[in-house]
Structure 1
Amino acid sequence: MKPPRWATWLLEAFGHPDSREEVQGDLLELYAYWVQTVGERKARWRYGLSALKLLRPLARRKSATEYSTPFFLSPVMIRNYLKVAFRNLVKNKVYSFINIGGLAVGMAVAMLIGLWLYDELSFDKYHKNYDRIAQVMQQQTSNGKIYTQTAIPFPLGSELRTKYGNDFKYLSMASWEGEHILTYGDKKFSKSGCYMEPDAPKMFSLTLLKGSEEGLKEPNSILLSESVAKAVFGKADPLNKLMKIDNKLDVKVTGVYEDIPYNAYFRDLTFIAPWDLYTTSEPWIQRSRDQWGDNSYQLFAQINDQTSYESVSKRILRAKYNNVEESDKKYNAQIFLHPMRDWHLRSNWEEGVQTGGLIEYVWLFGIVGIFVLLLACINFMNLSTARSEKRAKEIGIRKAVGSVRSQLIGQFLSESLLVVAVAFVLALLLVLLSLPWFNEVANKRMTILWTHPGFWLLGIGFTLLTGLISGSYPALYLSSFEPIKALKGNTVASRLQTVRFVSIPRKVLVVLQFTVSVSLIIGTIIVYRQIQFSKNRPIGYSRDGLMMIQMKSPEFYGKFELLRSELKKSGAIVEMAESSSPITSVWSNNGGFEWAGKDPNLDADFSTIWVTHEFGKTVGWQFKEGRDFSRVFSTDSASLVVNEAAVKFMGIKDPVGTVVRWGADSNARAFKIVGVIKDMIMDSPYDPVKQSFYLLDYDNVNWIDLKLNPAKSASESVAQIEAVFRRVIPSAPFDYKFADQEFAAKFAAEERIGTLATGFAVLAIFISCLGMFGLASFVVEQRTKEIGVRKVLGASVLNLWGLLSKDFVFLVLIAFGIATPIAYYCLHGWLQKYEYRTEISWWVFAASGAGALTITLLTVSFQSIKAALMNPVKSLRSE
């Protein structure tokens, strides 16, 4: 017999066309099942009863359709969806915690990386003319190698203004940004600033809070940042107040500008003084006005609106070459523009070609953020499908009483969106808590953009997209169950043991998770090894207790002997010297050196550092040959101490006693090498040490170098040194630096990358373990009866643990096999930018794989051992 016709007619009359066939098909399958189990008579009654139960929801759907609103999106149904979703979350607390926690962590990581990317990509956009500003740079060829530098000669500014003025809206020569003493009355401050031409404030669109952009046109003026103005003058009006720069230049405050944001090139620029004041303050600057070979300055430009960087660079290419002496044309100087948009992210050059920079890390962390979020979504899918078996009968009952597939999809998507919404709120809380740490590690000052409409649009869109992506697979998968098979327990999931291909998607996702995790582990280890390799490199001197003080005002000069005597008498120091460069940097490079046997085609360019007699004893440099400078020998004023790199560069076998001439024939000075020291690392610890000459000169020095007494604590010695300096040089603030801290700062960028990579690797592993836990839960749930049978037949806990763990071990091994070549390729390329670099050892990959395997076994063992210890009576009872 067939089902009652009246029931079928009711369904056809009230059923919506989009769902009528699906509902009728499901009921017919149920009818066939009932005929086999309870008989035809009872089956007809059940069929009729089910049809009557369907009338109400189908009628509601039809009514809602008349108002062009999908039934599964009606307010009533949405409320029901959320109610059921909340009950499921509360009922399954462990799984809810894992789902929400995993998503929250993944979303928090994505948010932090998103804030970091926003900060990096918006660098320098504070300046309104961001797209038209550039720095004038040059490239020169020396000994067959092309060098790119920002330093340019003094006369280039007037040359561009005179001959190429139509290409530029503004041009501004500038000194190098550095620490200077600002004095107002009895107040003394050490602040960072520079000297610029009058067009600079307009070019960089500084926001003047007081005064005028034309302030720098006055020869003895100064523009202060808002923070410095408040520090110096408090609440008083700073305009027209008189100050001193470095205790020698009298200036008047003509303007106060808004502090430049931290994500800008000029973020440390706290004051600007006139360029003309700078050029008249030092005799050596005045001498360089017409010297095309003295590259000691900076030049910034804003191009006209109708031009482009490329076209202007082509026109000014020979601006320097056409003016240098014939002997200097061999350097083939080429002038070009470096756009502001590339200053921060694309600042690396190699052989005259732009090779990237921080943009590589922007792409890297952007990809990492996407993958971490993807891992969190994968976990949600795995954990949701792992629970599918327990919800199969629920789905069958829902379909039996009239739920259509669209309603089930809406139910599961609402559950997913609820989880993601809660995770989003929790992620915001995690970001708020972790942002101070993240700012410190990344050297940023980021904040959550609460008032930015784009943030909320992106956040809501991000939540919806994540919820839909995370919930799409379980929604489509679970809602596809046929009601009869679901009620009989004959779902696809229940046949997992026989249909092994069903588990392939989950295994692929887990492999993807651990591929990312293992790659991050390998990357973290390599970055750490590179930093340690460079830190452990012999530096040629002793950094311990080495203090540096910059001589920022005239009061420092001529008091060396007095300071040295007073400080040694106090017992605070062991020795003291002066130098033209800080110990951790080289400020001067010069050419024009000649010696016997020199290749005439060799461009003799050396780092030149002027020092006083006790410099070697102060820094503890190490001699390979010869001797140190000595007060005993008056001829040492014409002597040189050179490093190993210089001996190798010069190609001389017996360097001690070799005479080196410096300068043109008529004005050349002769110097004799008296000693050879081991290479001192003064610049980048990642690059080879450059050939260097050390010369005696008490007039051409800018830094005081102090070796603290190791028998005293550093704090006690610093206090004694400060007392002496305040007594001998009361007009200057006591501002000092330690060589070890300045040297450590050279590793800051790489250490930040390493710390961030470590944090992301830990979070990726954590999220991956959640995914592994989800898959383990799924497998254990499907194999519960098999485990019970095996225990009855005598299987031990160890046997069952091995049985359930081997598949996961295999997945991790596959992930390791994929991650190894990917990580090697990426890290090998990253290491190539360092000339002094570590090797990629095989044990790094082995340790990473072993670590991932150990973490996997620990994660899986919880579920495996739990299942193995289960009473087989409980697992077999339903049979």
Structure 2
Amino acid sequence: MFKNYFKVAVRNILKHKFFSAINILGMTAGITACLLIILYITDELSYDTFHAKADRIYQAGLHGKIGGQDVRTSNTCPPLANAMATEIPEVEASTRITPRFGKPVLKYEEKVFTEERVFFADSNFFEFFSFRLLEGDVKTALKEPNTVVLTEDMAKKYFGTESPMGKLMVIGDDKKTFKVTGIAANAPSNSHVHFNVLLSSVSNENLKNGIWLNNFMYTYFLLQPNANVEDVNKKYENLVEKYIGPELEKFMGVTIKQMKEQGGAYGYFSTKITDIHLRATTQDSLEPGGNVTYIYFFGGIGAFIILIACINFMNLSTARSAGRAKEVGLRKTLGSLRGQMIGQFLAESVLYSLVAVVLALVACYFLLPAFNLLSGKVMNMQALASPQLVGAIVALVIFVGIVAGSYPAFYLTSFNAVEVLKGKVRAGMKTKGVRSFLVIFQFALSIFLIIFTMVVYQQIQYMQEKNLGIDKNNIIVLQSTGRLGTNKEAFKNALAQQTGVAKLSFTNNNFPGVNNTTVFKSAGSEQDHIMGLYFADHDQMDVMKFEMKEGRYFSKDFPSDTMAIVLNEAAVREFGFEHPLEEEILFNGDDNGVTTKRLKVIGVVKNFNFESFKTEVRPLSIRLTKDSDNLLIRYEGSPKTVVATLEKLWKEHSTNEPLEYSFLDENFDELFRAEQRMGNIFSIFSALAIFIASLGLFALAAFTSEQRTKEIGIRKAMGATVFSLTVLLSKEFTKLVLIAFVPAAAVGWYVSNQWLQSFTYRIPVDPLILVFSGLAAILLAWLTVSYQSIKAARSNPVESLRYE
């Protein structure tokens, strides 16, 4: 029986080559897009699941509220991990990691490079996590001071085919010597932390710091089997009272009780490691995370594309159903049962689906490298070989086949043979209600995708072009000038004299963001306020081009500016100053955290965006420094010329030290790289969905023209023009697109607004976008239909009247 179904299905496909090709092409494109989306979503959901104990590993985070500012951070203090392991019974073990500041220099013999992703890690790192250690002992590789573990890539980079084990490397500006005690496999792409180099935490004296208010580490803990993480969250309070309370009184002059009475808070929370990538509630994860909302968006667009492909098949099936109705009538007359005919129609549909899936897998294989480049991922086809995805693909074949073939299978076979052979089915099909609904639904989805894609691109363009309050363009950021040693000032002076170099400024900050956030008070007040702080020299304002609202910036004419501070407008509002230039700020601890300083407010700078567009500009302060390691270079003219000059001078003033620089505008663009990628992916899949919809409309227009051949011939013989016939054939589809526009515009406007709510600085949804999307859909429909309409209208009326 199934063999017969297959034979008949193949014959029907070959008999109607044009419509079969349209169906298979549309379904192949739809399933290819769906497979790529499945790979993307599977990868996003798989983050950190490779750890053997992922269901019990959590990251501790800090939640504080001071002066009305709510802070949630992944950074915690050095002593937290040990206290959790020893004082909270539900915690089986804990470990810590922290990034090495900046990009340290690594040297082995003549090979010298700066490296990213260098971390300090506790000795139980490889026992706690499931990162593979290829060489070395998991228990001792990071146990001793001045020991280092390299990844495979780093080992090849510095040692080639030579064994690195036991070799000595010089790491950092302080030129400490480290012994290689392990080689680790490269971290999986679906990890929330990727390391190149791991240094033993006992090598860093700062990590032995016992101050609980000093937060800069990432702390992880392993929950005991059958324990509840909520019990851990409750017992954090005991640690806060025992350790944080005394330090608050010592450094800030308030008790925990007083802080709470003032509306403040200080405590810890836990995040499951598998939730960090998509559901983290902090902005300072080790790496930029994903967004679970985008998973829903991509899942939705995948469903839309498959649905549109199925609608194409159903549209053509219903359009051709009158012709197939005679086949049904004859089969019934010859004794075929309804169940057999349903099986025949579904088999034909499943065969279409199976062919499309095979072609889609081939297309996916060739398109995956480009998709990886677009999405910033490292995915491969092996993921599709997992039992779950193989099952999903089989289910997809059956689902698409059944959904796409359901209408002809169940509707046509419901008529009795007499009605069919008398032509009653043909008469019933003239209402075209089902086809009209499907076309409306199809184009409603397409219009919605056009609207949302345009909103995403306008928001991204807005973020790129928005006036930040500074001029981020034409600035080169040169990091780690401290490597020049005593030649640092000579290098700066030589650079300042070069053509194309407009202004130079030293700062300790890495924009975007601010390196330090601390607690301040205003003189005469006991209220604590959280404020960002960075140090810069006298030329910072000229380089960054921010504007003063009142007062002045630091000047070489005022030696007392070493005890001065400049605030932004948000900081003035935070402190509630009416006359800020008459105020003083109390800084709890000088640069070494020893004494309290009184800093005179000498100026207020207009707010500028130094962080993400998703948050409001927060309180910021600037203090004066004459010397720092980061050099900002404002240039004029060609950046290539300036970079060439920079490289030349660096070589002259350094002793085999690597040059490390970046462009400030590119650094800021990184803040919304995820949105850019999302916009690119969304626009490509949206275009694909629209293409599939247009493909179906093209085939439907061809079939409609074919069905109305005799009518066209008569109208042409009666004097109808090509234009009037084209309008006649196109009018019906235009009407359907206009009907589709109304719900699509409403849903598109709502969804776009909801997405924009995640940005503090955002565009409004422009009504012109809605109008443009409707016009684009109509134009698309006209272009799609017009070819077939003009072709039919220009045909010879004699041939048309001979039809049938």
What TM-score, normalized by structure 1, do the two folds share? Answer: 0.83
Q: Which amino acid aligns with 1:319?
A: L
Q: Which amino acid aligns with 2:188?
A: P
Q: Tell me the secondary structure at the aligned position of residue 758 of structure 1.
A: helix
Q: C-alpha distance in 1, partners of 2:202/2:787? A: 75
CA contact (8 A) 1:534 1:686 kept: no
The counterpart of 1:174, out of the listed 85, 97, 100, is 97
Q: C-alpha distance in 2, partners of 1:734/1:367? A: 46
Deviation at 1:440, TM superposition (A): 1.8
Match of residue 310 from structure 1:
230
Q: Tell me the secondary structure at the aligned position of residue 213 of structure 1.
A: coil
The counterpart of 1:371, out of the listed 294, 304, 321, is 304
Map 1:754-765 onto structure 2 (within 5 A): 754-765=679-690
Deviation at 1:151, TM superposition (A): 1.6
Q: Which amino acid aligns with 1:459?
A: I
CA contact (8 A) 1:481 1:491 kept: no
The counterpart of 1:645, out of the listed 556, 565, 570, is 570
Match of residue 286 from structure 2:
none
**What is the root-mean-square deviation of aligned Cα atoms in Å?**
2.8
Bigger CA radius of gyration? 1
Q: C-alpha distance in 1, partners of 2:573/2:484? A: 37
Deviation at 1:586, TM superposition (A): 0.7
Match of residue 676 from structure 1:
604
Match of residue 706 from structure 1:
633
Matched, 1:233 2:166: no
Unaligned runs of 5+ in 1: 1-71, 351-355
Match of residue 522 from structure 1:
451
Deviation at 1:433, TM superposition (A): 2.8
1:202-233 Cα distance to aligned partner (Å, 9 max, x none)? 11122111001121111121111111111111
Q: C-alpha distance in 1, partners of 2:230/2:694? A: 51
Compared CA separation, residues 649 and 103, structure 1 to 2 (3 A): same
Q: Which amino acid aligns with 1:462?
A: L
CA contact (8 A) 1:572 1:720 kept: no
Compared CA separation, residues 660 and 142, structure 1 to 2 (3 A): closer
CA contact (8 A) 2:450 2:686 kept: yes
Map 1:473-488 onto structure 2 (within 5 A): 473-479=407-413, 483=417, 486=420
Map 1:268-347 onto structure 2 (within 5 A): 269-278=195-204, 280=205, 289-323=209-243, 324=245, 325-326=248-249, 327=254, 329=256, 330=259, 331-347=264-280
Map 1:172-571 onto structure 2 (within 5 A): 172-176=95-99, 179-191=103-115, 192-214=117-139, 215-247=141-173, 248-267=175-194, 269-278=195-204, 280=205, 289-323=209-243, 324=245, 325-326=248-249, 327=254, 329=256, 330=259, 331-348=264-281, 358-398=291-331, 404-449=337-382, 451-479=385-413, 483=417, 486=420, 490-497=423-430, 500=431, 503-551=432-480, 555-556=483-484, 559-571=487-499
Q: Tell me the secondary structure at the aligned position of residue 239 of structure 2.
A: coil
Deviation at 1:176, TM superposition (A): 3.0
Q: Tell me the secondary structure at the aligned position of residue 299 of structure 1.
A: strand
CA contact (8 A) 2:531 2:621 kept: yes
Q: Tell me the secondary structure at the aligned position of residue 379 of structure 2.
A: coil
Deviation at 1:239, TM superposition (A): 1.0
CA contact (8 A) 1:170 1:199 kept: no
Larger deviation: 527-536 or 657-666? 657-666
Match of residue 62 from structure 2:
138
Q: Which amino acid aligns with 2:217?
A: Y
CA contact (8 A) 2:478 2:632 kept: yes
1:132-182 Cα distance to aligned partner (Å, 9 max, x none)? 111111211223353211122233233323322x32222123223653222
1:521-545 Cα distance to aligned partner (Å, 9 max, x none)? 1111111122222222212222223
Unaligned runs of 5+ in 2: 284-288
Q: C-alpha distance in 2, partners of 1:637/1:825? A: 52
Q: C-alpha distance in 1, partners of 2:462/2:794? A: 49
Q: Which amino acid aligns with 2:480?
A: M
Q: C-alpha distance in 2, partners of 1:667/1:485? A: 98
1:411-452 Cα distance to aligned partner (Å, 9 max, x none)? 433432332232222212322232222212211111112654
1:564-622 Cα distance to aligned partner (Å, 9 max, x none)? 112224446333222111132211012123147x6x54x32211111122222333333
Q: Which amino acid aligns with 1:688?
A: E
Q: Percent identity?
A: 34
Q: C-alpha distance in 1, partners of 2:100/2:750? A: 39
Q: C-alpha distance in 2, partners of 1:145/1:620? A: 28
The counterpart of 1:723, out of the listed 628, 643, 648, is 648
Q: Tell me the secondary structure at the aligned position of residue 865 of structure 1.
A: helix
Q: Which amino acid aligns with 1:246?
A: G
1:322-342 Cα distance to aligned partner (Å, 9 max, x none)? 422241621321212111011
Q: Tell me the secondary structure at the aligned position of residue 605 of structure 1.
A: strand
Q: Which amino acid aligns with 2:180?
A: V
Deviation at 1:520, TM superposition (A): 1.1
The counterpart of 1:746, out of the listed 660, 671, 688, is 671
Q: C-alpha distance in 1, partners of 2:113/2:229? A: 39
Q: C-alpha distance in 1, partners of 2:684/2:338? A: 42
Deviation at 1:675, TM superposition (A): 3.2
Q: Tell me the secondary structure at the aligned position of residue 254 of structure 1.
A: strand
Q: Which amino acid aligns with 2:309?
A: A
Compared CA separation, residues 867 and 772, structure 1 to 2 (3 A): same
Match of residue 828 from structure 1:
753
Q: Which amino acid aligns with 1:94?
A: F
Larger deviation: 505-514 or 653-662? 653-662
Match of residue 616 from structure 1:
541
Matched, 1:584 2:512: yes
Q: Which amino acid aligns with 1:848?
A: S
Q: C-alpha distance in 2, partners of 1:585/1:253? A: 34
1:376-432 Cα distance to aligned partner (Å, 9 max, x none)? 011012112323344444555555556554554444334323322322222123222
Q: C-alpha distance in 2, partners of 1:314/1:587? A: 31
Compared CA separation, residues 721 and 535, structure 1 to 2 (3 A): same
CA contact (8 A) 2:85 2:92 kept: no
Compared CA separation, residues 189 and 127, structure 1 to 2 (3 A): farther
Compared CA separation, residues 539 and 106, structure 1 to 2 (3 A): same
Q: Which amino acid aligns with 1:536?
A: E
Deviation at 1:790, TM superposition (A): 4.1
Q: Which amino acid aligns with 2:293?
A: E
Q: Tell me the secondary structure at the aligned position of residue 607 of structure 1.
A: strand
Map 1:57-68 onto structure 2 (within 5 A): none
Q: C-alpha distance in 2, partners of 1:241/1:781? A: 79
CA contact (8 A) 2:81 2:221 kept: no
Matched, 1:694 2:617: no
Compared CA separation, residues 453 and 158, structure 1 to 2 (3 A): closer
Map 1:856-871 onto structure 2 (within 5 A): 856-871=781-796
Match of residue 65 from structure 1:
none
Q: C-alpha distance in 1, partners of 2:791/2:508? A: 71
CA contact (8 A) 2:114 2:658 kept: yes
Q: C-alpha distance in 2, partners of 1:219/1:461? A: 55
Q: Tell me the secondary structure at the aligned position of residue 759 of structure 2.
A: coil
Compared CA separation, residues 698 and 131, structure 1 to 2 (3 A): farther
Q: C-alpha distance in 1, partners of 2:53/2:499? A: 55
